[in-house]
């Protein structure tokens, strides 16, 4: 059987498409084949998904436009990339509708929640009085996540708390329709969510691709995505 193809939307840097290597490495090491998806036209999302057995939506140095979840933009909200958000929204909505295995990382998790009708905290220091932007190095854990027993996340990493890194200023506020919170930081910030009605639809607020070489529990998240994609191929 061929390797499951995991679509990963690319970012744009000036005139160049780019993808942090760690995402592709984590997918490949988990047994998948990273398939870069060049964004630009949301109308081609379905054509891209027809090539994919699973979808990984990564974060970036931008925020989901708050207008997408019915709020006015505040000055503390970060920059938007509407074209990328439109493309990834179309991909995520179609993938979830088709029960394609999905992993959302950081901003990808936040977008997954908004696609399902949820909302975000626009700036954690203002909204909750907490900071989740750790100083360098970014590839080391800075806090724990309490994992909810009986969830998909617990099935992948085990029920005990999980050390994670933290590089975000926004977070899930109200979970979307059918979305279950499966992990929280000690300060209550949502760190993981999933859609229990689907075989594999998981979002994590941290960056397991930066930790997977040192921590097998982090690698298990990418292996879970690839295994679910392989099962769907059957």
Distances (CA, A) of 118 to 37, 62, 112, 141: 26, 18, 9, 27
CA atoms within 13 A on the CB side of 86: 9
Q: 106 and 167 in contact (C-beta within 8 Å)?
A: yes
Q: Which of 67, 87, 77, 123 is nearest to 11 (CA)?
A: 87
Q: 47 and 87 in contact (C-beta within 8 Å)?
A: no
d(CA 160, CA 84): 36
d(CA 161, CA 130): 20
CA atoms within 13 A on the CB side of 29: 18
Active site residues: 106, 207, 209
Q: How far apart are the first and last CA of the chain?
A: 9
**In DSSP terms, which residues pair with 163 in a beta bridge?**
144
d(CA 172, CA 222): 22
Give helix 82-97 / helix 107-115 axis angle, nearest 10°. 60
């Amino acid at each position: 059987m061929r390797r499951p193809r995991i679509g990963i939307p690319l970012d744009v840097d000036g005139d160049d498409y780019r993808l942090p290597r760690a995402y592709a490495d984590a997918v490949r090491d988990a047994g998948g084949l990273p398939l870069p998806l060049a964004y630009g036209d949301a109308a081609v999302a379905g054509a891209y998904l027809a090539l994919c057995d699973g979808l990984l939506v990564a974060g970036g140095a931008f925020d989901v436009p708050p207008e997408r979840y019915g709020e006015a933009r505040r000055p503390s909200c970060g920059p938007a990339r509407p074209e990328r958000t439109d493309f990834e929204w179309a991909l995520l909505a179609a993938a979830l509708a088709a029960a394609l295995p999905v992993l959302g990382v950081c901003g990808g998790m936040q977008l997954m929640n908004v696609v399902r009708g949820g909302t975000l905290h626009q700036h954690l220091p203002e909204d909750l009085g907490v900071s989740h932007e750790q100083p360098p190095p970014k590839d080391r854990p800075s806090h724990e996540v309490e994992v909810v027993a009986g969830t998909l996340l617990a099935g992948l990493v085990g029920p005990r708390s999980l050390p994670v890194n933290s590089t975000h200023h926004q977070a899930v506020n109200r979970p979307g329709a059918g979305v279950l919170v499966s992990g929280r930081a000690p300060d209550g910030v949502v760190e993981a969510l999933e859609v229990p009605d689907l075989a594999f639809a998981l979002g994590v607020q941290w960056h397991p691709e930066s930790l997977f070489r040192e921590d097998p529990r982090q690698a298990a998240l990418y292996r879970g995505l690839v295994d679910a994609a392989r099962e769907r191929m059957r």
